[in-house]
């Protein structure tokens, strides 16, 4: 894990080197002060070299001023270094999240993912910045102090040297307990973040059902689990801090006691005891830094472990090495002997054969859960087929890049995602390089231009979180405008009008008819009124194609389509 963390230090190694240099200088000044004091008491004061004594003390004051400057640099540039490392790690994590398949997002809640992008990365940043800095100052100060202590009086130094390992053993044992508790806190925090995100997103539904108490209880249960985990963490931290404070008092007490005994036996003088006391005082800062490092290391490694867990995940839909981009010229789709299952146990699709000619509109109908949407998700390679193959213009889609496939496919779904941005930016999302004139033209084709011009700020109107300022029909037409702007060769309409009223559906259907011209189009629909004019209608049930033909042919056949049609009582 530490090797992974250090790999993000490279681009900022100059700032890191500056931070480490300042840490070394702080440790050096702290070590020098007891030695300078001992020299002054041994040589300058007895020899009455008062002028040099005050010059030396003034020099020490200058070095303490420099020490303050070094701390300023460590604080400012060290934090800057930490922020840059955090930004790089967040970028790497976000980029990796973009490579993961639909399956990952099917199984992981948004709140948990957000927790890893925010809370976990903050802890990693603290480790990146304060970890090396505190460790360098602590190790140099402790080793340096012990070395000089042994040179002055080895017996007294031995007492300190015996106490420090005991202290470190206790610290490490407490640290392990803190690590377990910290990991538990991270998990609980991710869970409560997910619950909050879910509750806020579903607040309107909660109010509609008057279920605020249900959501409040769910939140309280999650919050109580988090409090319990945090309580265990602080209990472990309290034991850690109590142990530390005990040793912070015992070490100077032991020095005074044993040093006093040596003075009583005329085996040591007061000057050396004072010097030892100064060195022990010097221990206070590094020992506290070691304490901070233990906590920072515990939290940081817990966050780093969770970060690495995500980074270790690989998409199941993988590109072949050296995959070339797909160039779609006609839009011919061939589904050949395709079977698919999500969990390799129960098949969703079984032995599907479908040949869609360029420019043809094919409607896919059937009962819910029959595999309609799954089939259409296999074409852009959101999932990979279990058996068989899918070809676009004669090319197996597994032989080309995923991006190039999706650039040539436009998808309009029932649940349109609208970004919390302006109308203009939401339409331009279909092709970010589009000009304003092209966005306006797409809006006109989607028959939403007039609605936009009636909005308060027209194209710059803010649409709210998930498009709360727009009606269902406006959201759908906004998504159609995106596809007009994208101008793909292949179009997939996945129950795009099933959530709309009949009047709005008919209005939008005209936009779809315009959008489908010259494109290979797949339409998934529950309302059969929207697919009567399709070139071909395919009925899928139980993961198999049961019927195929035109609207009239299937009615005349009197099979499953005719039964569905009659059930809906279409005139």
Is there a contact between 498 and 526 (Cβ–Cβ < 8 Å)?
Answer: yes
Give the span between the Cα atoms of 558 and 127, in whole angstroms: 70
**Start and end residues for every CATH 3.40.50.300 domain found in the chain:** 333-568
Give the span between the Cα atoms of 2 and 565, in whole angstroms: 63
Sheet hosting strand 536-541, strand order edge to edge:
409-413, 490-494, 520-524, 361-365, 536-541, 544-549
How distant, in Å, are the alpha carbons of 107, 135, 335, 550 from that of 547? 34, 71, 16, 10
- Please provide the size of the chain in residues: 571
pLDDT by 10s per residue, the chain, length 571? 778 888 888 899 999 999 999 999 999 999 999 999 999 999 888 888 889 999 999 999 999 999 999 999 998 998 889 888 888 888 888 888 888 877 777 776 666 677 666 667 777 877 887 888 888 888 898 889 889 989 988 898 898 888 888 877 777 777 777 777 877 787 777 777 777 767 776 776 677 667 778 778 877 887 888 788 888 888 887 887 788 778 778 888 888 999 999 999 989 898 998 998 888 888 777 877 776 777 778 778 878 888 888 888 887 888 888 888 888 888 899 999 988 887 766 778 888 898 989 988 898 988 877 788 888 888 888 888 888 999 999 889 898 888 888 888 888 877 778 888 888 888 888 888 889 999 998 888 887 888 889 888 888 888 877 777 888 778 888 888 888 888 888 888 887 666 566 666 676 777 777 777 888 989 888 777 777 788 898 888 888 888 888 888 888 888 888 888 787 764 4
On the CB side of 130, CA atoms within 13 Å amount to 20
**Start and end residues for every CATH 1.20.1560.10 domain found in the chain:** 2-312
Name which CATH class applies to 333-568.
alpha beta
Of 25, 31, 67, 57, nearest to 281 by C-alpha is 31
The vertex-292 CA angle with 289 and 296, nearest 5°, equals 135
Whether the model clears a pTM of 0.85, i.e. scores above it, the answer is no
Indicate the CATH number for domain 2-312.
1.20.1560.10
Strand ranges inside 393-535, DSSP E: 395-396, 409-413, 490-494, 520-524
> 364 — phi, psi (to 5°)?
-115, 120
């Amino acid at each position: 894990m530490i090797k992974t963390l250090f790999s993000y230090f490279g681009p900022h190694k100059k700032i890191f080197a500056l931070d480490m240099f300042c840490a070394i200088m702080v440790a050096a000044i702290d070590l020098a002060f007891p030695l300078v004091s001992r020299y002054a008491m041994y040589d300058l004061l007895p020899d009455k070299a008062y002028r040099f004594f005050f010059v030396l003390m003034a020099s020490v004051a200058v070095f303490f001023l420099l020490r303050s400057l070094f701390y300023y640099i460590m604080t400012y540039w060290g934090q800057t270094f930490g922020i840059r490392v955090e930004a790089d790690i967040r970028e790497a994590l976000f980029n990796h999240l973009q490579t993961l398949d639909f399956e990952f997002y099917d199984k992981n809640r948004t709140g948990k993912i957000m927790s890893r992008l925010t809370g976990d990365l903050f802890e990693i940043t603290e480790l990146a910045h304060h970890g090396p800095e505190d460790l360098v100052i602590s190790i140099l100060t402790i080793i340096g102090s012990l070395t000089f202590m042994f040179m002055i009086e080895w017996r007294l130094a031995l007492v300190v040297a015996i106490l420090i390992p005991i202290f470190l053993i206790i610290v490490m044992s407490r640290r392990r307990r803190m690590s377990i508790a910290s990991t538990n806190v991270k998990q609980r925090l991710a869970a409560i973040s997910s619950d909050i995100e879910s509750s806020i997103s579903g607040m309107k539904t909660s109010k509609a059902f008057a279920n605020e108490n249900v959501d409040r209880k769910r939140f309280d249960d999650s919050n109580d689990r988090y409090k319990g985990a945090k309580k265990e963490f602080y209990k472990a931290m309290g034991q850690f801090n109590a142990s530390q404070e005990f040793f912070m008092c015992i070490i100077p007490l032991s020095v005074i006691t044993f040093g006093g005994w040596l003075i009583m036996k005329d085996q040591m003088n007061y000057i050396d005891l004072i010097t030892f006391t100064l060195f022990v005082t010097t221990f206070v800062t590094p020992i506290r830094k070691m304490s901070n490092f233990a906590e920072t290391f515990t939290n940081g490694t817990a966050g780093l472990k969770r970060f690495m867990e995500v980074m270790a995940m690989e998409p199941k839909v993988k590109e072949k090495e050296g995959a070339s981009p797909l160039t779609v010229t006609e839009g011919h789709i061939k589904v050949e002997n395709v079977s698919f299952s999500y969990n390799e146990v129960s098949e969703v699709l079984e032995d599907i054969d479908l040949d869609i000619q360029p420019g043809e509109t094919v409607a896919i109908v059937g009962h819910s859960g029959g595999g309609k949407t799954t089939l259409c998700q296999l074409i852009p390679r959101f999932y990979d087929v279990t058996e068989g193959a899918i070809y676009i213009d004669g090319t197996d889609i597994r032989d080309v890049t995923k991006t190039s496939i999706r650039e040539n496919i436009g998808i309009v779904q029932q649940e349109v995602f609208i970004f919390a941005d302006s109308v203009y930016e939401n339409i331009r999302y279909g092709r970010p390089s589009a000009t304003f004139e092209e966005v306006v033209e797409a809006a006109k084709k989607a028959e939403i231009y007039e609605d936009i011009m009636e909005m308060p700020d027209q194209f710059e109107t803010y649409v709210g979180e998930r498009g709360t300022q727009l009606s269902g029909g406006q959201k759908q037409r906004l998504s159609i405008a995106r596809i007009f702007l994208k101008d793909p060769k292949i179009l997939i309409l996945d129950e795009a009008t099933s959530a709309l009223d009949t009047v709005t559906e008919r209005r939008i259907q005209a936009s779809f008819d315009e959008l489908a011209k010259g494109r290979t189009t797949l339409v998934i629909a529950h309302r059969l009124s929207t697919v009567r004019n399709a070139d071909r209608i395919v009925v899928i049930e139980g993961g198999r194609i049961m019927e195929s033909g035109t609207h009239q042919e299937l009615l005349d056949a009197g099979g499953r389509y005719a039964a569905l049609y009659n059930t809906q009582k279409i005139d």
